[in-house]
Amino acid sequence: MELAFIDWTLIIAFFVISLAIGLYSSKRAGQSVKEFFLSGGNMPWWLLGVSMVATTFSADTPNLVTDIVRQNGVSGNWVWWAFLLTGMLTVFIYARLWRKSGVMTDLEFYEIRYGGKPAAFLRGFRAIYLGILFNVITMATVTLAAIKIGGVLLGLEPWETVIYGSIVTVIYSSLGGLRGVLLTDFLQFFIAMLGSIWAAKVSLNHPMVGGLANLLSHENVAGKLALVPDFSDASAWIPLLLIPLAVQWWATWYPGAEPGGGGYIAQRMLSARNEKHAVGATLLFNAAHYALRPWPWILVALCSLVVFPTLESIQTAFPHMDASVIGHDLGYSAMLSFLPAGVLGLVIASLIAAYMSTISTQLNWGSSYVVHDFYHRFVDKNASEKRLVLIGRLSTVTLMVLSGLLALTLQNALQAFDILLQIGAGTGLIFILRWFWSRINAYSEISAMIISFAVALYFAYLHDYFGFAPMASHMKLITGVGITTVAWILTTYLTPREKEKTLKTFYDRANPGGPGWKSIAGDKALINWQVPMGIAAMIVGCITVYSALFSTGYWIYGKVLPATILSFVGFGGVFILFKLWNKMK
């Protein structure tokens, strides 16, 4: 496609503004490590909440949703909708705990909660394991989406997209630190939302689609509209609904949806002004992430089933694209090729914004692990603030290079999504319980990390090699969760508990409360323990957000009665939620 002058103007203007924000923030970011990675720990809830939403609004997310909808229908999105339970648990239980802990990164938590060499090993190893390995994989999936978008809309070679997409992001991320990331995220969120809504509008008006009514009645689409899977088909509802709601949300570790909070979500909470702002930020994030954003993507995905019903039709329309990257996730980018001048530039700018917001966050977060939890802790404990910031900037560039190289080897977003879920299978329960069960120790986490990774490698490379019958993804997930969970629980009881002094210091600092700490804090652990109230708020919060999500869908489908009922349920949930919130203060 050829972009008009107005398209290039919009794209270049966006790049210039992003660079300007990075330059504006650079002086302050260079003052200290806390400024570079936590923006001084004084950020407001609304900026942090929007930043979380912008980060998870990555360039690969519309592609992932399109892949899911084209293959499994709208109800297939339960594989990520189920993570709302994790998010709401973080809002009402873990946000305050993280803020009270006073750590700079969530990995610093290990040497507060646990003691001795095992805790130090856990912190240092996970700094590399998550900050580099997991982080690079995540960024590679986002970059893969950018490669496909660049190939369809701009005719770029994969390496060209990687180079062009990385330069500006690396510059403002390495210069401005977290403050620069937060400010650009705020701009990028609104550009990305406007672009996705406009893309949905243009897609609905495509001559082959002919508007919303024709779309919903089209033979390629009618069977894909259900919001829950068909309960008469066990092969559909078990992997798409039951497993995500019953197991996946609490048992797996996935970037942005960590049980108990973690990663860049924890980074945002730790940079909040106080506990109240940390809670408000995570609540805004979960409401917007699950209820506000999905439907424009879903509509474009449904339209793509009409215009490009098969993979062959996508390949025919874009013959210059390598056959290895042709997948259902390309349906979203394919629909964008019909955008008119001006709109095309806006939407491309919105996708660039989505890409940059995610990558910049991952770079800053991953770099914080490398610098604070590995370099400063194990390599040079006496390093100056200036040197630590320099190491942070260098590691930012290195992470971008590694993720770009990996992106050139991947084929689709859903493939990487499944890999990440499998690697983290079975570790999630530890992240939930370690705050409230004093018996969990560093060996519990080490065993879970090693075994879950080993199981993932087995299913990825050895299961078929040994000639066993192929297993569905959800069966691999359940097996991984079962093996890992049993292993870390046994390890917990077979290894010594943490020293009482370590446990008491942690309890006095975070004050988690609960019966799991009665042996350390006595009856004080049960006084004003707010977890039961937090779980009640979590349930109400989930009902409220799901009601908003599904009522929007039913309004789009023209089903007035269920849309009206769910709208009232949602408004009622908001009222109850504020009542519970006030009781928890």
Q: What's the confidence (pLDDT) of residue 553?
A: 95
Total domains in the fold of the chain: 1
Average pLDDT on 395-414 reads 80
User: ∠ CA 225-227-228 to the nearest 5 degrees?
Assistant: 120
Residue 343 covered by a domain: yes
Cβ distance 12 to 19 under 8 Å? no
Which pLDDT value is given to residue 576? 92
Residues 415-429 have pLDDT tens digits of 565 666 667 777 889
- The torsion angle over the Cα atoms of residues 237, 242, 243 and 248, rounded to 10 degrees, is 130
Domain assignment of residue 131, yes or no: yes
Task: State the pLDDT at residue 1.
Answer: 59
Q: What is the pLDDT of residue 412?
A: 57
Considering only 234-238, 241-245, 467-471, which range has the smallest mean pLDDT? 467-471
Residue 419's pLDDT is what?
A: 66
User: In the prediction, which pLDDT does 415 show?
Assistant: 57
pLDDT at 276: 87
Residue range 185-220, pLDDT digits in tens = 888 888 888 888 989 999 999 999 999 999 999 999
Proportion of the chain above pLDDT 70, given as a percent: 96
Q: What is the pLDDT of residues 484-515, one digit of tens each?
A: 999 999 999 999 999 999 999 999 998 898 99
Q: Is the pLDDT of residue 519 over 80?
A: yes
94 domain residue, yes or no: yes
**Comparison of pLDDT for 538 and 180, the residue scoring more:** 538
Q: Phi, psi at residue 363, to the nearest 5°?
A: -65, -45
- For residue 442, being part of any structural domain is answered with no
Contact 477, 421 (CB under 8 A): yes
Q: How far apart are CA 432 and CA 260, in angstroms?
A: 5
Whether 480 is in a domain gets the answer no
What local confidence, expressed as pLDDT, does residue 298 receive?
96
Q: How confident is the model at residue 584 (pLDDT cuts 50, 70, 90)?
A: low
pLDDT at 109 over 80: yes
- Residue 147, pLDDT > 90, answer no
**Mean pLDDT for all residues in the chain:** 86
Could you give the CA distance from residue 379 to residue 371 in angstroms, rounded to a whole number? Answer: 10
CB 584 within 8 A of CB 562: no
* Non-local CB neighbours of 10 within 8 Å, separated by 6+ positions: 342, 345, 346, 348, 349
Question: Is 499 part of a structural domain of the chain?
Answer: no
Q: Is the CB of residue 119 less than 8 Å from the CB of residue 110?
A: yes
Quick: pLDDT tens for 540-557. Answer: 999 999 999 999 999 999
Question: What average pLDDT does this structure show over 509-538?
Answer: 88
Secondary-structure percent of the chain, ordered helix, strand, coil, rounded to 5: 80, 0, 20
Tell me the H-state helices in 435-530.
Answer: 442-457, 473-494, 500-510, 518-521
Phi, psi of 466 (to 5 degrees): -80, 0
- CATH assignment of the domain containing 141: 1.20.1730.10
- Residue 380 in domain: yes
Domain interval for residue 64: 5-412
Q: Looking at 24-71, which runs of residues are DSSP E strands?
A: none
- What is the mean predicted confidence (pLDDT) over 509-526? 89
What is the rounded distance in angstroms from the CA atom of residue 121 to the CA atom of residue 579? 44
Higher pLDDT, 470 or 522: 522
Give a yes or no: residue 529 inside a domain.
Answer: no
Q: 322 φ, ψ to 5°? A: -60, 135
| Residue 471: both structure tokens together | 């297993």
Q: Which residue has the higher pLDDT, 343 or 503?
A: 503
Check pLDDT > 70 for residue 411: no
Q: Tell me the angle at which helices 263-270 and 343-368 cross, rounded to the nearest 10 degrees.
A: 80
Distance CA 383, CA 375 (A): 9
* Weakest mean pLDDT among 53-62, 82-91, 244-253: 53-62
CA 505/CA 119 separation, integer angstroms: 15
Helix (H) or strand (E) holding 366, with range, is helix 343-368
The pLDDT of residue 581 is above 80: no
Q: Is the pLDDT of residue 124 over 60?
A: yes
Cβ-defined contacts of 30-35 (< 8 Å, 24+): 30/177, 30/386, 30/389, 31/385, 32/385, 32/389, 33/104, 33/371, 33/372, 33/376, 33/385, 33/388, 33/389, 33/392, 34/104, 35/177, 35/179
* 119-133, 249-263, 464-478, 488-502: which is most confident: 488-502
